[in-house]
Chain A
Amino acid sequence: MSENEVRVIGLNGSPKKTGNTGKLLSSCLAGAEEAGGIVTKVHLGDLKGVSCLGCNTCHTLGRCIREDDITELFKEILAADLVIVASPIYSMSVTSELKTVIDRAHYLWAMKFRTFTLTFSDEHLQTHKGIFLSTAGMADPEVFKHSLPIITAFFNGIGVDYSANLLFEDMDTYGGIEKHPGALEQVYAAGKETVIAIREEKEKLR
């Protein structure tokens, strides 16, 4: 892996692969790829993985006792420089598919605060970023507010700097993300610019 390489992973938390959220994520990843990022897209609904059991074994072991697709996903997430999380809003929060992955990140919190086997340096946070993409049917922009603390907890866990929220409400009126003026272009630009920014930060640290 060359030092200038920027790895990007996009997580689609929507049950639909090519709905509004899926299209937003694809556009953001296309922008990241345009800037030279090495891009992976994961549809979370395709994974075979169990939800967190709340057993707290990670508080003593510093790892999760489960081994499934989500275990492998975390290896990819931790190897990425840019993590793009996408979810529609269901009942004022992220989907259960995304929440399953976020709850499983609890072992990283345990490694930081219980077993003291994980820290992220300032340099790491300078070169690792997270973006949250979301869509909602309702017209109320407040509809996203309650998901942000959940995404913050996740980005803290995986050690990325929470660099942007790209949130698009009122999908029911627009009748789809393509009809929203500028949404797909905006996330494309964000994907591209963030990859460039990460590469610049990496060069500064060399």
Chain B
Amino acid sequence: MSIRVFALATSPRRHGNSETLLDGMLKAMEQHGADVTKHALTELKILPCRGCNSCEKNGECVIKKDDTKNILDEMIAADIVIFAAPIFCMGIPSQAKALVDRMQVLRSRKFVLEMPIVPKERKGKRIGVFLSTAGQDWDWVFDSTIPTIECFFGLQDIKKKEIRYLMINNVDKKGEILKHPTACNEAKLIARQIMGDIQALQEVE
């Protein structure tokens, strides 16, 4: 069975730096036989979490009329989950944060109701990737975002050691990523490496 890749371009700017980096990675993964699904968050309707905690009772969210449930289902079914985001004011954009906040439903299932997120046999056999770009050239510009990303992956049963990172700072204007000396090549290299890693993981009984 081919490797299922689920990718989210979460930037409000279409085809900007983080999405371009993502496209490069996805192309390389396709060349290695992956079955790729990509969504742009701008095309989806994701309402904010209401903090009502009713998911703690039945493991379901009360908000039904948006795309969150379908997106979470697709994400959990994938072998490789890629989250691409620019840095806005030292964090992920609010639109992306809205999706992460809505994953509270997974937290309730996992920690309150002790329900499985993925079947036992798929645990430890999935990989998460965080691709990010930032305009500032500070070395620490991604630091305060990483714990949120660990939550995003942790809530869907992808552990810290199963997350790969590619974070490129000092790219601000649209298209600047293409002029970066290493970014696009790194995306291809990491893609190849991840495809190798996931195949090896899945061969292990």
Contact = CB atoms under 8 A, between A and B. Distances in A.
Contact of A146 (B88, B104, B147, B172): B147
Among A99, A103, A106, A150, the most chain B Cβ lie within 10 Å of the Cβ of: A99
Contact of A103 (B48, B94, B104, B150): B94
Nearest to A21: B51
A187 interface: no
A45 B13 contact: no
Given A90-B104, A103-B89, A53 B12 contact: yes
B50 interface: yes
A111 to B, nearest CB: 15
A92 B148 contact: yes
Interface stretch (A11-19, A118-126, A177-185): A11-19
B89 A51 contact: no
Interface residues of B, number: 37
A15 B48 contact: yes
A154 interface: yes
Given A95-B48, A95-B97, A96-B48, A102 B152 contact: no
Nearest to B14: A54
Nearest to B18: A54
B48 A149 contact: no
Contact of A96 (B52, B101, B147, B155): B101
B13 A99 contact: no
A91 interface: yes
A153 B12 contact: no
A103 B88 CA distance: 6
Contacts of A91: 97, 100-101, 103, 148, 151-152, 155
Contacts of A100: 94
A153 B134 CA distance: 14
Interface string B84-95: 001011111111
B60 to A, nearest CB: 18
A56 B155 CA distance: 33
Interface string B157-191: 00000000000000011100000000000000000
B59 interface: no
Contacts of A88: 51
Contact of B89 (A14, A53, A153): A153
B88 A52 contact: yes
B98 interface: yes
A54 B101 contact: no
B90 A149 contact: yes
Given A95-B97, A102-B89, A146 B48 contact: no
Nearest to B90: A149
B97 A99 contact: yes
Contact of A150 (B12, B90, B95, B173): B90
Interface of A: 14-16, 19, 45, 51-56, 88, 90-97, 99-100, 102-103, 105-106, 145-150, 152-154, 157
A-B complex: 8 closest residue pairs judged by Cβ atoms: A92-B147, A96-B98, A54-B13, A99-B94, A91-B151, A100-B94, A96-B97, A149-B90
22 contacts: A15-B48, A16-B51, A19-B51, A52-B88, A54-B16, A55-B13, A90-B49, A90-B100, A90-B104, A91-B152, A91-B155, A92-B150, A93-B97, A93-B148, A96-B49, A96-B100, A102-B91, A106-B88, A146-B145, A146-B146, A150-B89, A150-B91
